Amino acid sequence: MNQQNEQTHMNMHTGTTVSAQMNHGAHEVMDVHEVLSGAVGAMNEYTMLRSHVKDPELLKILDRQYQFMQQEYNTTVDCFRSGKDPAVPTQSYEMTQGNDFVYGLTPTQPKKPMQSASEINDEVISCAMLGAMKSMAAAKATAALEVTNPVVRRVLADSIPNCIEMAYELSIYQNKHHYYQVPQFAEQDTLQMTQAYAPAMGVQGNMTTH
């Protein structure tokens, strides 16, 4: 990878070579700016919400996710600025709880916007955290498709599963506390939908044409 990073590229307009540090396309620069700005926003949001958390379990999730986001942010900044391998490579986030969901709906009060900050609770906080992770996953996926620098593309692509894992962790937490309910189709309808497709057969190129 280091040898690839040190390679220079030709600028077709000027005929000059482009160093690894400048090996970024215009779309890439704008999209990565969106990713980094979103990461800063998410961490700021976590910081603002932290003092309002009441559930120790949610507080542990918040702190663990914040620390991970901070390192991932630094890794992205490092490779974006240098165009080379970051000092600390992308890590893999692993949640500590199980992945069991409770299915079905129970009666709850209708949701509505808060009227004051005094209404901030663990449901509101975990929902805001989940929204931040969903936004980050979408922004990183969009940016990774526009990146020309091979290192930045790899860092972004490798970090998308971490956003998914953190969002999944939060959705499980919300489900356990009945903040996020998961409805289901009737068993017969679910079975019909899951069995609606069959595996593809044959090898392309070997099909007989008439």
Mean residue pLDDT across the chain: 88
Residue reference for tokens 């970024």: 24
How many domains, in total, are found in the chain? 1
Write down the pLDDT at residue 20: 58
The helix, strand and coil proportions of the chain, stated in percent and rounded to the nearest 5, come to 60, 5, 40
In a domain, 199, yes or no: no
Residue ranges making up the domain that contains 58? 2-101+119-193
Q: What crossing angle do the helices spanning 56-82 and 122-144 adopt, rounded to 10°? A: 20
Q: Write the burial class of residue 150 (CB in 10 Å: 0-12 exposed, 13-18 middle, 19+ buried).
A: middle
**SS3 label, residue 10:** strand
On the question of pLDDT at 48 being above 50, the answer is yes
Give the sign of the dihedral formed by CA 113, CA 118, CA 120, CA 122.
negative
On the question of pLDDT at 207 being above 70, the answer is no
Q: How many other CB atoms are there within 10 angstroms of residue 122's CB atom?
A: 19
In a domain, 140, yes or no: yes
Which tens digits make up the pLDDT trace of 56-107? Answer: 999 999 999 999 999 999 999 999 999 899 999 999 999 988 888 899 988 8
Write down the pLDDT at residue 21: 60
Calculate mean pLDDT across residues 178-185. Answer: 92
On the question of pLDDT at 12 being above 50, the answer is no
In a domain, 160, yes or no: yes
On the question of pLDDT at 17 being above 60, the answer is no
Which tens digits make up the pLDDT trace of 95-154? Answer: 988 888 899 988 888 889 999 999 999 999 999 999 999 999 999 999 999 898 999 999
Q: What is the helix (H) or strand (E) element at residue 44, kind and residue range? A: helix 26-50
CATH code at 57?
Answer: 1.20.1260.10
Q: Are strands 17-18 and 9-10 parallel, antiparallel or unpaired?
A: antiparallel
Calculate mean pLDDT across residues 181-194. Answer: 93
DSSP secondary structure string, 70-108?
HHHHHHHHHHHHHSS--SS-------SS-----BB----
In a domain, 135, yes or no: yes
Write down the pLDDT at residue 2: 41
In a domain, 202, yes or no: no
Question: What is this structure's pTM?
Answer: 0.84
In a domain, 209, yes or no: no
Q: Residue type for 102, please?
A: V
